[in-house]
Structure 1
Amino acid sequence: MTKGPRFTPLVDRLPAAVPFVGPETQERERGRPFVARLGANESVFGPSPRAREAMANEAAETWKYGDSLSFDLRTELAAGLGIAPENVLVGEGIDGLLGYLVRLTVAEGDNVVTSLGAYPTFNYHVTGYGGELIKVPYRDDCEDPDALLAAAREHDAKLVYIANPDNPMGSWHSAERIQAMIEAVPDGTLLVLDEAYLEFAPEGTAPAVDPDDPRVIRMRTFSKAYGLAGARVGYAIGAAPLIEAFNKVRNHFGMARISQAGALAAYRDAAYLAEVQEKVAAGRNRIAAIAQANGLSTLPSAANFVAVDCGADGDFARRVLAELIARDIFVRMPFAAPQDRCIRVSVGTEPELDAFEAALPQALAAARG
């Protein structure tokens, strides 16, 4: 009998699972599409018209590989940040960059610290390279910098991860709090600062970029505020030796030309970004109003989604989620208690939020039995 491939012992131990079941998969299983796509924290307002035009123009050139150095985009980002291009790396979204970072720093058995219920794709990469995850609980629905640092010291962690603003709760810390965390990172530990939602946060959320600080690497993306989730463009900001090390493991032709062109044009269109930020702020307010009209509360959010507190435990929130999905409203929820008492609703178009408004009271009634 012919044998198949011989997997590594690590791969043999891993489950064949992905962090998120996408809406398309759910639609195929359900046999019908969603009316409102409010679960993936995408920007329903789409990319800048300039970005769409740039990508359309680049389509004819897509027979070429993309620039392996993403030179134009890195140069533009560096100029905007006031740093050198050597401190910037472009990659296939934050997810791809996190995978490369874990590959660079985490060997089997190495400890990595994160928050219980924080971004699961980071955990997926750590587990995939054999790292050991140390998880600390949220505090007051926020990631807890003090607890994260204490765990990093106790377990001699290679990496410690925090998102600011946070996903899935939408909470955030001030620039001063995050800078204090950077200053307190233990020797030999690298702080992974995920700033995917930064463009939606209040002024004073992000500390100033110090490109030469070897204690922190910052991750940002074009998937959220810039409306380019499907293009897969993210970037990392860090000390030049760390950024250079990515060249040892990254996919050098991982970036499509169309994606590079779209991100460059989007970054240059500050006026459109401001329009999206205004629409997201209005959308957060509407979600909060819908929740309040149904006797529910919401958490303050610095992201493009709102955590809606269903007022009971995780089992009840899961019933609410299931009833919304049954009514063709795609939403998600935090995975860990006590944050799983909430559902997480992304900002949508007015018709999508109309559909959510109509479905929520029915879902709550059905979940209550």
Structure 2
Amino acid sequence: MSPRYTALVASLPATVPFVGPETAERERGAPFIARLGANENGFGPSPRVIEAMRQAAGEQWKYGDAQSHDLKQALAQKHGVSPDNIIIGEGIDGLLGYLVRLVVEPGDAVVTSEGAYPTFNYHVAGFGGVLHKVPYRDDHEDPAALMDKAREMQAKLVYLANPDNPMGTWHDAATLEAALERVPEGTLFVLDEAYVDFAPDGTAPRIDARDERVIRFRTFSKAYGLAGARVGYAIAAKGLVAAFDKVRNHFGMNRAAQIGALAALEDAAYLQDITNKVAAARDRIARIAADNGLSALPSATNFVTIDCGADGDFARRVLAETVKRGVFIRMPFVAPQDRCIRVSTGPEAELDAFARVLPEALAAARAPGQVGTGG
């Protein structure tokens, strides 16, 4: 006898939005020499964060503060908003799941870009929403097309990441502010800003936190180096923030993670150092690409998307051959963006490994007998 699943759950495939590096290591039977595929911050968190979490370890018998009060106050001060405009949760992924649960019923339309962040799509499918997608335009998400599709479908949600994952491209603040003015009545604009700490000045739009048309997501997983701690937050109108209390896991936030995130906010100098290191690593990855006859897309994130110069089949062979040699990377899933591979920034030793492996992977991908062997 199996459980009596809901009709919706019974209709869904077993889906994993991302295959983690640990899974890939088990499958290949060996650890990676370089972990450059998950857009983690390989430079790690601030020493102050590590020490704060170390000191917190002895009190892990306590539940975390269900209101994340101290962290919420600090974030409100950082962004110049009321604490009532901040919701904290288990990474952006967890918060996206709560948001979809709040808004999407079976059959409701949701709009995103073809090939954009798959975890959002996973949550929409899990609550019975119907995804409608628009293509990228010149390797950028297309805000105007997204809003047009949202209006056409009377969508409950329209999702856009700026800067974008998986391409690393971005729009300036004025473009996003113009897009906000085109949000259809009854549609909520979901603006994912996970990578905005790495972006040039003038990328983050000026949006009033009280604006009921939009919710903005931020994270401690990227620039702050706390991906494993799972701390994300959103900035939104007071009513929407309050609605999260109807569905969220009130004790979902790890106590040490809350303490670590608060320490991270207090170390602005370390954040600046990390963004400088990431910028230097992006330049290094672009040089490695050029040395191998490939071209790197401009990036405002902690990864670089590299155009392999052919089709998706060729890029998949390059990826497979790179992974086979012990360097974990990923790639976009949807054509024509799947002509690329995606490489996270990281310490010099890991980029050295990528530089050493890439020529071998390209040669293997272009070997006689391969179809669509690239430039």
Q: Does 1:74 align with 2:80?
A: no
- Distance across 2 between alignment mates of 1:287 and 1:70: 38
Distance in 1 (alpha carbons) for counterparts of 2:58 and 2:303: 36
Shift of 1:209: 3.5
Structure 2 distance, partners of 1:209, 1:111, is 25
Query: Deviations 1:196-243 (Å, cap 9, x if unpaired)?
Result: 000000000011241110000000000000000000000000000000
User: SS of 1:165's equivalent?
Assistant: coil
The one-letter code matched in structure 2 to 1:239 is A
How far off its partner does 1:17 sit? 1.6
Q: Which residue of 2 aligns with 1:99?
A: 97
User: SS at 1:20's partner residue?
Assistant: coil
SS in 1 for 2:353: helix
1:345 to 343, 346, 363: 343
Amino acid at match of 1:332: R
Identity, % of aligned positions: 69
Q: Which stretches in structure 2 are left out of the alignment for 5+ residues?
A: 368-375
AA in 1 matched with 2:227:
A
2:56 matched to 1:47? no
Contact 2:218 2:233 in 1 (8 A): yes
Q: Which amino acid aligns with 1:92?
A: E
2: distance between equivalents of 1:48 and 1:278? 14
1:51 partner SS: helix
Q: Which residue of 1 aligns with 2:275?
A: 277
1:191 maps to amino acid: F
**2:10 pairs with 1:9:** no
Q: Give the drift of 1:19.
A: 0.1
How big is the shift at 1:60?
1.1
Deviation, structure 1 residue 183: 1.2
**Partner of residue 251 from structure 1, selected from 245, 249, 252:** 249
Does the alignment pair 1:212 with 2:205?
no
Instruction: Measure the CA separation in 1 of the matches of 2:303 and 2:46.
Output: 20
| Candidates 317, 320, 336, aligned match of 1:319 | 317
SS in 1 for 2:316: helix
Deviation readout 1:144-196 (Å, 9 max, x if unpaired):
00110010000000000000000000000000000111111000000000000
Counterpart in the other structure of 2:239: 241
Residue correspondences, number: 367
Mean Cα deviation higher: 55-64 or 312-321: 55-64
Q: Please name the residue that 2:134 is paired with.
A: 136
Q: Which residue does 1:329 correspond to in 2?
A: 327
**Residue 216 of structure 2: SS of its match in structure 1?**
strand
Q: Which residue of 2 aligns with 1:147?
A: 145
Instruction: Find 1:291's aligned residue among 281, 285, 289.
Output: 289
**3-state SS of paired residue (1:219):** strand
Residues of 1 paired with 2:202 and 2:266: CA distance? 22
Q: Answer yes or no: is the 8 Å Cα contact 2:177–2:207 preserved in 1.
A: no
For residue 4 of structure 1, report the CA deviation from its aligned partner.
2.1
The one-letter amino acid paired with 1:120 is P
Shift of 1:299: 0.4
Cα distance in structure 2, aligned partners of 1:279 and 1:268: 19
* Deviation of 1:61 (Å): 1.1
Q: Which moved more, 1:203-212 or 1:295-304?
A: 203-212
TM-score when normalising by structure 1: 0.99
Contact kept in structure 2, 1:81 and 1:209, CA below 8 Å:
no
Within 1, Cα distance between the matches of 2:51 and 2:355?
Answer: 34
Equivalent AA in structure 2 for residue 60 of structure 1 = G
C-alpha contact 2:200 2:300 (8 A) present in aligned 1: yes
Partner-residue secondary structure (3-state), 1:10: helix
**Structure 2 match to 1:86:** 84
- Residue 258 of structure 2: aligned partner: 260
Q: Deviations over 1:52-87 (max 9, x none)?
A: 111111111110110000000000000011110000
Q: Which of 277, 302, 305 matches 2:303?
A: 305
Q: What is residue 372 of structure 2 aligned with on the other side? A: none
Q: Which amino acid aligns with 2:245?
A: N
Q: Give the 4+ runs in structure 1 shifted more than 6 A.
A: none
Distance 1:82 1:310 in 2: 43
The CA RMSD measured in Å over matched residues stands at 0.5
AA aligned opposite 1:114: T
